[in-house]
Structure 1
Amino acid sequence: MPKACCILLFFITSFSAQSQVVEDIKEFFTFYPNKKAAERDSTLYKQKFIAAPVMSYAPETNFAFGTGAKYLFKFNGSGEETRTSNMPITLQYTLNSQFFLYSGFEIFTNQEEWVIEGNLLFQNYPRLYYGIGKDTPDSAEEQYDYNQFLFEPIFLKRMFHRFLFIGGGVRYNHIYNTQIEEDGLIAQNRPDGFDGSTSVGAEVAVLFDSRSNILNAQDGWYLEFTHGKYFKALGGTNKFNLTRFDIRHYFDVSEKNEDILAVQLIGRFTREDIPFSEYAFFGSSEIMRGYQEGRFVERDMLATQVEYRKNFADSRFGAVVFAGTGDVYRNVSDFRFGDLKPNYGAGLRFKLDKTENLNIRFDWGFGRGTNSFYLSIAEAF
C-alpha cells in the first residue's frame, strides 16, 4: 500500500458550506461508463468511476504523483438484492522512477450467486527493512528495493445460506530485480528469498458477508478464512502453507445519526519453507495505523482494532476514533498480553457519494514511538 505520507488531493472539503459546489466538484471527478444505457433503461445500475489526483512524498521515493479511484458497478440484471461491486485502483509514479499499481476487488454477480474477490499488485516501490523479529531496533533501518507482481483471484459460490460463500482460487507472488545495501543487514542475514522468489499456490476460501454496504458498512458480519498450499511443482521457488482470517462486526449504535461501532480481528500464519516476501508485515493504512508497513516482520501476526464512527446529521462530515493492538510472532503460541504493541488515533470523514455512502478519510495514527497520516477513499475496514 502507499506510504503513510500519501496525500490524496480531494480539495472539495474546503467547499463544504456550498453543497452545489461540492456536487459540481464531485461530478468533475466522476465518470459514468454506462450513462447513456442507464438513461434509456431505468432498471440498470448507473456505474461510477470516481477518480482524483494523488501525491505523496517520502525520502526513499521523492515526490510521487498518480491517481486514486473507485469503480462501482453492478452487472446487468442485478437489482437491490445485489450489493454494489467495488474495484479500487491506485496508480503512482515517483521522481525516482518507481511505480505502484494496486487493486483489491470484490465483485458480486447477479443476485449474488457468486463473489469474485482478490488482489492485483504491480510495483517497484522500496521497503524499509529492520530485520526479522518483534523487537528489531529503529537503528537497523535500511532500504530494500524490488519489483513485485502479485495476482490473487478467488471465486466463491453461495451455498447453504444467503450470505455464505465457499470456493477457492490461486495466488501468484513474484519478487524480482532486488537491490540491497552492500554489507547491510539483509546482506549479512540473507533471509530466504532476499534476492527474489516466486510463490505459486492454490487456495480454499470461506466467506460469510452480511454487510449491507461494502464501502462503509452500517451493520452485519464479515468473516473470511483462506488456506493456501504453495508448491515448487507449480513453478514456485518455495514449498509452504499460508493461512489467513479476517473477522469484522459492525454495530449500529445510533439510528438518529447512523453512528457505527466497528471491530476487527485478523491473523496471518505461515509454515515450512517461507520466502521473505511471505512473512507477515506489521502496520499499514488498514490495520495497526500509526506503524509503517513492515516495521516488524515475522512468520505469524495477530492484530485487532475497534473504531467508533460518528456521523453528523444533515452533514457530509464525520469523525472517528480508533484503537488497536497486535504483534508478530515466530510462533503464535508465543503470544503474551504484555508484549502487545498498541495503536490509537482519530480521523475526519467527508462523504463524497451519499448514494453509496462513500467517504474520503483522513486518519492520524499513533504507535509506540511513531505516528503516521493516512488520506484515501473508503474506510480502513
Structure 2
Amino acid sequence: MGIHLKSSLLVLFFGLTVSSARAQGSLVRYVKRVLNDTSSAATSKLLIFPTAGFAPETSVEIGIRTFSLFYAKKDTVVNRLSEIVLYTFVTFRGQFGALLENAAYTNKNRYFFLGKARYQQFPLLYYGIGPSTSSGNPVLVNSNYVQIRQRILRQVKNNWYAGVEADFQNIGSVSFETENKPNFDLPLGHEGSTTMGLGAAVVYDDRKNVLNVRKGGFLETGILWYRPGFGSDFKYRSVVLDSRLFRPLGRPNRVLALQLAGTFMTGDIPFNNLGLIGGESLMRGYYLGRYRDKNVLAGQAEVRWLPFGFSRRWGATVFAGLGTVSPTVRSFQVDQVRWAAGGGVRFLFFQKKDVFLRADLGLTREGTGFYISLGEAF
C-alpha cells in the first residue's frame, strides 16, 4: 500500500504559519512552556494543540487534539494517572471525525472508567473478510459511523476490578463503490446496521502510569451479548481478551513490553463489527481493517529505551508482532499468520508525569505505516 500516515502528524513544532506577529510570539511561548514543563506530577495538565496528517482514505486532514492528564485528589502516591483524550478533525474532502478516549480512576483507584466514543464520516478501504484477502484493489466504503463503548469497573480486591460494559454501534448511509467489480459480494450489514451489546468484564491492573508503564501487568477479559431485545439488528456474542506484561531489562529506563490480544465472536456479525488487524496500536504497519473476521489473535513484543542512557529526554523503541484472523477458532492456521515489525523514536513530553511523544514506523510485507501520538502503543 506504500506509506500511509494513519495517525495525525503533530505540527505543534513545525510548519504552523500564523499571520500576526503577536500570535507567533504567543505560539512560541506556548511551545517553550510545554517543552520545558517542570510542574509537579500532581498538577493536572490540559494540553490543546493543532495537528495535521494524511491517510489514503481521508487525504489531508487537520484537527485539534486535547489531552487531560490528572491524578484524583492530586495524590500521586496512591492514585494512578488518568487520561482523557479528545481528537477532532476535518479533511480536504470535507469529511469529519471525532474520537474521545478515557482511562480514568477515582480516588484510591476504587472505580475505573475505560472506554471510547467516536464519530466518523469518511470512506474506508474494505479488503474483504478472512485471512487470505488480496491487498490489491480494495473497495471504498462510504458511511457515517458512531460507536460508544464504556466499561464501569469497581475494585474488588487489590488490583482486581469487575463491572459492566456496553457497546453501541451504528453505521448508516453506507455505499460500496463496486462499479468496477460486477461480481463483488456485499457483506452482511452493507445496508447499514445498529448493534447494542451488554455484558461484563473482569480486569487486573497494577499499572501506575497507563501512558508509559515501567513495570506491571494488565489483563482484561470481557463478554458482550448483542440481542434484538437490547435494540440490536443482529444477534451475536463477542469475547475479548487483552493481556499485557511490562518488565525492566536491567536498567530502569529499559523496558520489555509484551501483549497478547484476541477477539472471538459467534453469530451473525455485520462487517463493520468484525475483529480487525492493523492500525496504530497492534500490528503497526497494516492498514486498520486490512484483515477482518469473527476471530482475531495477535501478539507483539517491544523493547523501549525511555530515555537513552546518554539523553535526558530522547529515547527509542523496536517492536515486532504476529497476528491472523479466522472464521472460527478451530480454523486458525499457522501459514496465515502475518508479521509486522519496526521501530520508533521517543521524546519526553511531560517530564514530571513520565509521558513520551512517540513516532513509530511499522513495516509489513505489504508496505509501511507511520504513526505519531502521545503515550505508548500499549
TM-score by length of 1: 0.88
Following superposition, the deviation at residue 24 of structure 1 comes to: 5.8
Residue 102 of structure 1 is matched in structure 2 by 99
Following superposition, the deviation at residue 82 of structure 1 comes to: 0.6
Task: For 2:299, give the aligned amino acid.
Answer: T
Matched, 1:170 2:166: yes
Following superposition, the deviation at residue 76 of structure 1 comes to: 3.3
Contact persistence 2:217–2:245 (CA under 8 A) = yes
Question: Structure 1's 185 and 118: CA in aligned 2 closer, same or farther, altered over 3 A?
Answer: farther
Residue 17 of structure 1 is matched in structure 2 by none
Question: Structure 1's 277 and 187: CA in aligned 2 closer, same or farther, altered over 3 A?
Answer: farther
Matched, 1:275 2:270: yes
Residue 6 of structure 2 is matched in structure 1 by 4
Contact persistence 1:52–1:69 (CA under 8 A) = yes
Q: Distance in 2 between matches of 1:23 and 1:97?
A: 32
Q: Distance in 2 between matches of 1:47 and 1:152?
A: 25
Question: Structure 1's 253 and 232: CA in aligned 2 closer, same or farther, altered over 3 A?
Answer: same
Residue 20 of structure 2 is matched in structure 1 by none
Following superposition, the deviation at residue 63 of structure 1 comes to: 1.6
SS at match of 1:101: strand
Question: Structure 1's 108 and 272: CA in aligned 2 closer, same or farther, altered over 3 A?
Answer: same
Contact persistence 1:270–1:278 (CA under 8 A) = no
Residue 301 of structure 1 is matched in structure 2 by 296
Matched, 1:244 2:240: yes
Task: For 1:301, give the aligned amino acid.
Answer: V
The CA deviation string for residues 72-102 of structure 1, in whole angstroms up to 9 with x for no partner, is 1233374520111111222111111111211
Question: Structure 1's 128 and 380: CA in aligned 2 closer, same or farther, altered over 3 A?
Answer: same
Within 5 A, what are the aligned runs for 1:115-194? 115-160=112-157, 162-183=158-179, 188-194=184-190
- State how many pairs are aligned: 360
Residue 226 of structure 2 is matched in structure 1 by 230
Q: Distance in 2 between matches of 1:55 and 1:187?
A: 38
Contact persistence 2:178–2:184 (CA under 8 A) = no
Contact persistence 1:29–1:52 (CA under 8 A) = no
Following superposition, the deviation at residue 64 of structure 1 comes to: 0.7
The CA deviation string for residues 175-198 of structure 1, in whole angstroms up to 9 with x for no partner, is 111122144659831211112111
Q: Distance in 1 between matches of 2:9 and 2:30?
A: 22
Aligned-pair identity (%): 29
Within 5 A, what are the aligned runs for 1:1-381? 4=6, 6-11=8-13, 25=31, 27=33, 45-76=42-73, 78=75, 80-160=77-157, 162-183=158-179, 188-255=184-251, 258-310=253-305, 311-313=307-309, 314-381=311-378
SS at match of 2:184: helix
Q: Distance in 2 between matches of 1:92 and 1:155?
A: 28
Q: Which runs of 5+ in 1 are unaligned?
A: 13-20, 36-41
| Larger relative contact order (CA 8 Å, sep ≥ 6) | 2
TM-score by length of 2: 0.89
Q: Distance in 2 between matches of 1:213 and 1:187?
A: 50
Task: For 2:69, give the aligned amino acid.
Answer: L
Contact persistence 1:207–1:225 (CA under 8 A) = yes
Q: Distance in 2 between matches of 1:251 and 1:22?
A: 38
Q: Which runs of 5+ in 2 are unaligned?
A: 15-26
Task: For 1:194, give the aligned amino acid.
Answer: H
Following superposition, the deviation at residue 5 of structure 1 comes to: 6.2
Contact persistence 1:288–1:326 (CA under 8 A) = yes
Following superposition, the deviation at residue 46 of structure 1 comes to: 2.1
Following superposition, the deviation at residue 26 of structure 1 comes to: 5.2
Question: Structure 1's 30 and 88: CA in aligned 2 closer, same or farther, altered over 3 A?
Answer: farther
- RMSD of aligned Cα (Å): 2.5
Q: Distance in 1 between matches of 2:148 and 2:375?
A: 22
Question: Structure 1's 344 and 182: CA in aligned 2 closer, same or farther, altered over 3 A?
Answer: closer
The CA deviation string for residues 35-87 of structure 1, in whole angstroms up to 9 with x for no partner, is 9xxxxxx9x94211123221112344232100223211233374520111111
Contact persistence 1:267–1:303 (CA under 8 A) = yes
Task: For 2:111, give the aligned amino acid.
Answer: W
Contact persistence 1:180–1:186 (CA under 8 A) = no
Following superposition, the deviation at residue 126 of structure 1 comes to: 1.6
Contact persistence 1:181–1:187 (CA under 8 A) = no
